[in-house]
Amino acid sequence: MKKQLMVVAFVASLALVATACGGGGGGTTGPTGGTGATGGIPTGGILREETTDFGFTNAFDPTGEYLGAAWAYYGNFLLRGLVSYPWLPGEKGGNQPVPDLATDLGQVSADGLTITFTLKDGVMWQPPLNRPVTSQDVAFAFQRINTKSLIAQYGNYYCGTIVGMDCEGKSQEDPIEGIETPDEKTIIFHLERPTGDILYRLAQPAAAPVPPEVAGCFDKAGEYGRYVMSNGPYMLLGSDELDISSCDTLEPIKGFDPDKFMYVVRNPNYDQATDDNRQNYIDGWSLVINTNLDDIYNRVLNGDIDIAHGAPPAAILQQYLTNPDLQDNLKTNSGDRTWYITMNLIVPPFDDVHVRKAANYIVDKAAMLQATGGPVTGDIATTIEPPTVLPDLADYDPYATPNHAGDVEAAKAEMAQSKYDKNGDGVCDDPVCDNVLMINRNYDPWTEYTPILTENFKQIGINLKVRELDVSTAYTTIQTMSNLIPIAANAGWGKDYASPYGFDFFLFNTAGLSCEGAVNYSNIGLDEALAKECGPKVYEAWKAATDNGKNPLPNVDQDMEECVAKPFGPEYNACWAALDRKLMEEIVPWVPYRWGSQNTVLADSVVAWEYDQSAGWTAYSRTAVNNGLTMDEVAQI
Amino acid sequence: MGQVTDEEVAEPGRTLGGAEPGSTIIGRTPWQIFWMRFRKDRVALAAGAFLILLAAAAVAAPLIARGLVHHDPNALFRDTLNEYGLPVVGPSREFWFGVDTSGRDVFVRTIYGARTSLVVALLSTGFAVGLGILLGSLAGYLGGWVDTVISRAIDLTLSLPVLLFSIGIAATCSITAEGCLGGLVQPGISLVTAIIALFTWPYIGRIVRGQVLTIRNKEFIEAARAMGAGTGRILLRDVLPNLAAPVIVYGTLIIPSNILFEAALSFLGVGIPPTTPSWGRMISDAARGQLYTVAWWMLFFPGMALVFTTLAFNLVGDGLRDALDPRTQVTG
């Protein structure tokens, strides 16, 4: 980006002039005040972003919101938790929790069961609250997580871990037994067992403080999303106009329309001196819905907007990769996520482990990566956890094939050992291999996978019948156990936080099993009781797959129990690495094919940009623009 | 078909097509007359020839693909793609119409796509015509409550949001291994055919009903009734033959719209299984993500195939109407 260098030089010279005229008044304007410069990076301007869909899973209520991008919005703009992240890429420590609202990373007792935090002075709630953030506000966030009707979508990180939390609470007013607030600045958590990755869990947006005087008015999932109050550097446009005199006078914040836009502006009560991690160069941020994906990327190219997340369509992507003027405007970072094909342990032919192993050999992962857009879209996955989450397995590839392009001979050798290849020629000769239903997404690049996988599996005698569905229908379809979907290519999984527990737990634990909404799509550990509950079709399939219960399905719950209790560090990682090996070699629920990267496209107006590894998204608080716009010019309300 | 001849010839003062001025009047069957008129329509004949060629290519698609081009429609020639997965081989000696983003031969898929288009369009039109004739003639001939029920059914069907409805059915039937209605309805060519037939029969039905309404009061019907013929016999032997001309004309004109219907459904990704070559799907593949800017051939060839096939059916349909309907003046 040639432009960036020029702009920085220009601003720096301005600063020199200002210093000269002002007689040594400091030279730089503080980041909260208008246009100026901080370390050569200009402040001011509005970062303009567009997206096809907000994609919120809980209407932006932090208690339940499970969308990675939303975590970036909360963390960079609105919510300061006890601990949070430095808003940096992984190699600069972006996955390591740092103190934010708290003065340090907490005092842990010798038995590992108590952890105490002290809050910083000077952290205030935005107008109209205008009061300091207290430990009771933090405790209130946990009371909300514990309230059943608010549906904390990752409540499992706290319930069962913090004493007195079961996520079944009736009211958000009920205090949690294991959380003490002896004074306004101190909070003490009592844990059920030592929990190595507790800091990660506390860094999640749901654990950030919530003001009871506003949030207490909303006891249904998602409602508070229209009223989110900030203790961070920015706030939702118009949120300072809320009438908080009673619950009845609250009106939805005008700067957030779930169908159209979200605007944030600076929070006047924020004190930069209390914050070591956010730089806050921009004066505001706008996120506007534009349903035409191609148009979004054209607008970035034209400079009509400043930023768009995700890889552009193939033809535009090629321009960014080949045009020297554009190359610096495409940012590619590790997304800490795995894209995989999931196979169902109770549906033929995948109820035979040899067929699942054959699938791991036959899939041409190199072709799938190429079809996705090439190396810029990620790396070929060889195991479940990306090495950025679990470095122990960086070189692990139990189903290595030449150039990752699949190995027909190795696949046939596995197929020959299965019960569905009676003549042992390595090609399935059982009728169950005809018309095997595979669920896929109905858009690029998934539609590109359909011909590849169809041809791949044909070589071992499995004829796939592919159904391409929109993304949410595809997920609902495989999440409904009674659909008995044999194989699906629509699924991907990203970390919640950078520990293997935050990645693996639900995917393979029986806690991830349910008749509807299951995420343990392979049905690992499915037992008779649940199979029965999910209907006769599931029960019949379960009986057939387990020989009427004589050969129960593999179960990794116990393995996970043991790993969770390990002290955080090498031992912890080694335990999870062993579990991943067991999953890949003995249970084989997946064909992992790509560790996805996160691509971000910038206009020339973006003069500083950083990647936040924790949310896998732009670190807005470290991003700067030189467009000189104000929110009045941008916001269309 | 005696009645048709008697009927038309008996009317005085009408010049039947094909009779050259000054020539001796000789007795001709209606089909001879039709052929004499039709073969003068060069445009329609050319369109007909194109369709015959297309049909031949569609029937012989496997032979052409394996024997002539040596490419299977689903074979992936991934070395024709660059590292970003974009096709770099356009129309060439090896790939006549270039390759798509999966490295598949666009020419082979285009002729296989003709199969899909023709099979779906002809089958669905066939069903629509059959259903239209049956219900239309019952409504027209029997009248009364039968007419009311069938006519309202026609109105209802024509007022349904066709595309939304089709997408809904296709999507509903796509989420389980068994399809929907206990496995009765499966997504695929048969479902698409059924949906299209369901939405096009009313056009035929309406026209047939109108025709039957005029025919049923003609003298030869009364004569047949007087001679003791039952309803079934009259419908089959006396009414049906008189419907041939309008049904052939409208049937031919429905085929192209059904081809477009199938293409639209495939474009939207419902109905035809993903790996089955289909023009609509090929066009949607080319349109997404501005792919046509780097691989114009992905859009051009299936698009042209669709345009020319639709045009050809329309021209043949026009020709048939001109030739079959003695009331239209054939010029040229």
DSSP for B152-189 reads HHHHHHHHS-HHHHHHHHHHHTTSSTT-BTTTTB-SSH
In the stretch 188-227 of chain B, residues with CB closer than 8 A to chain A read none
Of A269, A239, A276, A278, the closest CA to residue A122 belongs to A269
- The structure's pTM equals 0.83
Measured CA to CA, the distance from residue B90 to residue B283 in angstroms comes to 16
A338-596 CATH pick, 3.40.50.970, 3.30.70.380, 3.10.105.10, 3.40.50.720: 3.10.105.10
Q: What are phi and psi of A387, to 5 degrees?
A: -60, -20
Of B286, B279, B284, B290, the closest CA to residue B268 belongs to B284
A12-21, A31-40, B23-32, B300-309: range with highest mean pLDDT:
B300-309
Q: What is the pLDDT of residue B174?
A: 65
- Provide mean pLDDT across the span A550-572: 90
- Provide mean pLDDT across the span B308-317: 93
Q: Distances from the Cα of A529 to the Cαs of A485, A536, A540, A587, B232, in angstroms?
A: 20, 12, 12, 21, 61
- Provide mean pLDDT across the span A261-289: 97
A54-68, A399-413, B28-42, B278-292: range with highest mean pLDDT:
A399-413
**Predicted confidence (pLDDT) at residue A214 exceeds the cutoff of 50:** yes
**Predicted confidence (pLDDT) at residue B281 exceeds the cutoff of 70:** yes
Q: Are A38 and A28 in contact (CB under 8 A)?
A: yes
Q: Residue A321: its chain B contacts at CB < 8 A?
A: 84
Q: Residue A372: its chain B contacts at CB < 8 A?
A: 85
pLDDT > 90 in chain A, percent: 77
Q: Which amino acid belongs to residue B16? A: L
Q: What is the pLDDT of residue A39?
A: 63
pLDDT > 70 in chain A, percent: 94
Q: Is B84 on the interface with A (CB under 8 A)?
A: yes
Please judge whether B102 and A465 are an interchain contact, meaning their C-beta atoms are less than 8 angstroms apart.
Answer: no
- Provide mean pLDDT across the span A481-496: 92
- Domain residue extents for chain A: 14-294+599-634, 338-596
**Predicted confidence (pLDDT) at residue A344 exceeds the cutoff of 70:** yes
Q: What is the pLDDT of residue B264?
A: 87
Q: Is B75 on the interface with A (CB under 8 A)?
A: yes
Measured CA to CA, the distance from residue B62 to residue B65 in angstroms comes to 5
Query: What is the architecture of the domain spanning A14-294+599-634?
Result: 3-Layer(aba) Sandwich (3.40)
Q: Residue B84: its chain A contacts at CB < 8 A?
A: 314, 317-318, 321, 370, 373-374, 376
| CA distance between the termini of chain B | 29
Please indicate whether residue A102 or residue A498 has the higher confidence score (pLDDT). A102
Q: Is A481 on the interface with B (CB under 8 A)?
A: no
pLDDT band at B332 (very low <50, low <70, confident <90, very high): very low
In SS3 terms, A518-536 reads as: CCCCCCCCCCHHHHHHCCH
CA distance B89 to chain A (A): 15
- Whose tokens are 């609470």? That residue is A169
Q: Residue A316: its chain B contacts at CB < 8 A?
A: 289-290
With CA atoms as reference, the chain A residue closest to B73 would be A451
Interface test with A, best of B99, B102, B267 (most A CBs within 10 A): B102
pLDDT tens track for A193-210: 888 889 999 999 999 999
With CA atoms as reference, the chain B residue closest to A378 would be B84
Q: Residue B78: its chain A contacts at CB < 8 A?
A: 367, 370
Q: Is B85 on the interface with A (CB under 8 A)?
A: yes
pLDDT band at A371 (very low <50, low <70, confident <90, very high): very high
In the stretch 320-379 of chain A, residues with CB closer than 8 A to chain B read 321, 367, 370-376
CA distance B4 to chain A (A): 51
Q: What is the pLDDT of residue A32?
A: 42
Q: What is the pLDDT of residue A40?
A: 85
Please indicate whether residue B16 or residue A349 has the higher confidence score (pLDDT). A349
**Predicted confidence (pLDDT) at residue A4 exceeds the cutoff of 50:** no
Q: Are B255 and B318 in contact (CB under 8 A)?
A: no
Q: What is the pLDDT of residue B20?
A: 57
Q: What is the pLDDT of residue B268?
A: 76
Q: What is the pLDDT of residue A196?
A: 83
Mean pLDDT, chain A, integer: 90
Measured CA to CA, the distance from residue B202 to residue B128 in angstroms comes to 8
Interface test with B, best of A299, A318, A481 (most B CBs within 10 A): A318
Q: Which residue among A370, A477, A485 places its CB closest to the CB of B78?
A: A370
Q: Residue B74: its chain A contacts at CB < 8 A?
A: 451, 454-455
Interface test with B, best of A296, A300, A444 (most B CBs within 10 A): A444
With CA atoms as reference, the chain A residue closest to B173 would be A467
CA distance A370 to chain B (A): 5
- Provide mean pLDDT across the span B280-304: 90
Q: What is the pLDDT of residue A290?
A: 94
Q: Which residue among B76, B85, B171 places its CB closest to the CB of A451?
A: B76
Please judge whether A467 and B85 are an interchain contact, meaning their C-beta atoms are less than 8 angstroms apart.
Answer: no
- Provide mean pLDDT across the span A102-123: 95
Please judge whether A294 and B289 are an interchain contact, meaning their C-beta atoms are less than 8 angstroms apart.
Answer: yes
Measured CA to CA, the distance from residue A217 to residue A351 in angstroms comes to 50
**Predicted confidence (pLDDT) at residue A434 exceeds the cutoff of 90:** yes
**Predicted confidence (pLDDT) at residue A29 exceeds the cutoff of 60:** no
Please judge whether B274 and A294 are an interchain contact, meaning their C-beta atoms are less than 8 angstroms apart.
Answer: no
* Continuous H helices in chain B: 2-10, 30-38, 42-59, 61-63, 106-142, 144-159, 162-172, 189-215, 219-226, 231-233, 240-267, 279-287, 296-324
**Predicted confidence (pLDDT) at residue A164 exceeds the cutoff of 50:** yes
Please judge whether B273 and A466 are an interchain contact, meaning their C-beta atoms are less than 8 angstroms apart.
Answer: yes
With CA atoms as reference, the chain B residue closest to A321 would be B84
Q: What is the pLDDT of residue A327?
A: 92
Please judge whether B84 and A373 are an interchain contact, meaning their C-beta atoms are less than 8 angstroms apart.
Answer: yes
In SS3 terms, A71-134 reads as: HHHHHHHHCCCCEECCCCCHHHCCCCCEECCECCCCEECCCCCEEEEEECCCCECCCCCCCECC
Interface test with A, best of B84, B186, B294 (most A CBs within 10 A): B84
With CA atoms as reference, the chain B residue closest to A319 would be B294
Q: What is the pLDDT of residue B3?
A: 40
With CA atoms as reference, the chain A residue closest to B176 would be A483
**Predicted confidence (pLDDT) at residue A145 exceeds the cutoff of 80:** yes
Q: Is A314 on the interface with B (CB under 8 A)?
A: yes
pLDDT tens track for B84-130: 889 999 999 999 999 999 999 999 999 999 999 999 999 999 999 99
pLDDT band at A503 (very low <50, low <70, confident <90, very high): confident
Measured CA to CA, the distance from residue A477 to residue A439 in angstroms comes to 8
Q: What is the pLDDT of residue B246?
A: 87
In the stretch 15-44 of chain A, residues with CB closer than 8 A to chain B read none
Q: Which amino acid belongs to residue A509? A: N
Q: Is A467 on the interface with B (CB under 8 A)?
A: yes
- Which residues neighbour B27 within 8 Å (Cβ) at sequence distance 6 or greater? none
Please indicate whether residue A346 or residue B290 has the higher confidence score (pLDDT). A346
CA distance B280 to chain A (A): 14
CA distance B115 to chain A (A): 19
Q: What is the pLDDT of residue A106?
A: 95
With CA atoms as reference, the chain A residue closest to B175 would be A477
Q: Is B76 on the interface with A (CB under 8 A)?
A: yes
Q: Residue A432: its chain B contacts at CB < 8 A?
A: none
- Provide mean pLDDT across the span A408-416: 97
**Predicted confidence (pLDDT) at residue A300 exceeds the cutoff of 70:** yes
Please judge whether B101 and A376 are an interchain contact, meaning their C-beta atoms are less than 8 angstroms apart.
Answer: no
A100-114, A395-409, A524-538, B177-191: range with lowest mean pLDDT = B177-191
**Predicted confidence (pLDDT) at residue A625 exceeds the cutoff of 70:** yes
**Predicted confidence (pLDDT) at residue A31 exceeds the cutoff of 50:** no
The answer to whether ipTM exceeds 0.85 is no
Q: Which residue among A442, A454, A485 places its CB closest to the CB of B275?
A: A454
Q: What is the pLDDT of residue B321?
A: 85
- Provide mean pLDDT across the span A603-631: 96
Q: Which residue among B85, B177, B291 places its CB closest to the CB of A374?
A: B85
